[in-house]
């Protein structure tokens, strides 16, 4: 059974850093595209980052240069390193299998950027 | 402003058929496939339709998708109260070289 469990969210001050983790089971992270998607309060879904099975990455313009998606093959875990956080990064962050076709999703982790 | 444009809201009564549109451009919908996601507040989004019109296992055949040119549509027939949710279209955008969502449509079952 495929399972995705996010962790690492919380309250952080503007300018701070946070690393989100997504522990996967039931499949191999490195063999799949993997995504981070977020939903800010009262807003729609936004694709944040994608890591391809070959290791290449995509980051939305809104986070480019501040966020980095990566994976640890040995731990079968996906990460999102978030630096220089802004109030507008406040959102529930979901990890998901796949790129544009995201078959499985985690339950999400809340990141709140506030002083 | 989303790259893919959806109406912010839609509604219908139980048993009715409703459609939700998704308008894009030559860099996304026209040349790439469209997926649809259902999102209930407080839960994980769910893949509803892939590759324009394919239903993943477990999705009722009341849900169907179509695409023509730079637009796509999601149709829900035999509307049920549990269909009340937010619906998002998604497609790869070749200009952005990344995936994009529509702004989402909130479906209300009256």
With cut-offs at 50, 70 and 90, classify the pLDDT of residue B85: very high
Predicted confidence at residue A15, as pLDDT, reads 98
| Cα nearest neighbour of B48 on chain A | A103
pLDDT at B2: 86
Binned at pLDDT 50, 70 and 90, residue B92 comes out as very high
Measured in degrees and rounded to the nearest 5, phi and psi for residue A10 equal 160, -170
| pLDDT the model gives residue B81 | 96
The pLDDT tens digits for A8-54 are 999 999 999 999 999 999 999 999 999 999 999 999 999 999 999 99
Q: Which DSSP letter does residue B29 get?
A: T
Residue of B45, B50, B100 to mutate for A, most A C-beta atoms under 10 A: B45
Phi and psi based region of residue B75 (left: phi greater than 0; alpha: psi -120 to 50; beta: remaining): beta
CA distances from A20 to A10, A39, A69, B5, B51 (A): 10, 15, 9, 30, 30
> In which band, very low, low, confident or very high, does the pLDDT at B41 lie, cut at 50, 70 and 90?
confident
Q: Do A101 and B35 touch (CB under 8 A)?
A: yes
Could B45 and A94 be called an inter-chain contact, meaning their C-beta atoms sit closer than 8 Å? yes
Shortest alpha-carbon distance between residue B57 and chain A (Å): 11
């Amino acid at each position: 059974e495929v399972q995705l469990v996010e962790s690492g969210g919380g309250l952080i001050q503007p300018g701070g850093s946070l690393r989100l983790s997504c522990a996967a089971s039931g499949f191999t992270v490195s063999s799949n595209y993997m995504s981070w998607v977020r939903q800010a309060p009262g807003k729609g879904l936004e694709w944040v980052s994608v890591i391809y099975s070959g290791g290449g990455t995509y980051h939305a313009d809104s986070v480019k240069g501040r966020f980095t998606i990566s994976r640890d093959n040995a731990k079968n875990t996906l990460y999102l390193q978030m630096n220089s956080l802004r109030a507008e990064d406040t959102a529930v962050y979901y990890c998901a299998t796949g790129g544009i076709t995201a078959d499985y999703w985690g339950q999400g982790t809340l990141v709140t950027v506030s002083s | 402003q989303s790259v893919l444009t959806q109406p912010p809201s839609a509604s219908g009564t139980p048993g009715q058929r409703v459609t939700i549109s998704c308008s894009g451009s030559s860099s996304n919908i026209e040349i790439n496939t469209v997926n649809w996601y259902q999102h209930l507040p407080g839960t994980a989004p769910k893949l509803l339709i892939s590759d324009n019109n394919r239903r993943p296992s477990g999705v009722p055949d009341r849900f169907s998708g179509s695409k023509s040119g730079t637009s796509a549509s999601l149709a829900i027939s035999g509307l049920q109260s549990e269909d009340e949710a937010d619906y998002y279209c998604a497609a790869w955008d070749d200009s952005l070289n990344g995936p994009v969502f529509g702004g989402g449509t909130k479906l209300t079952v009256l």
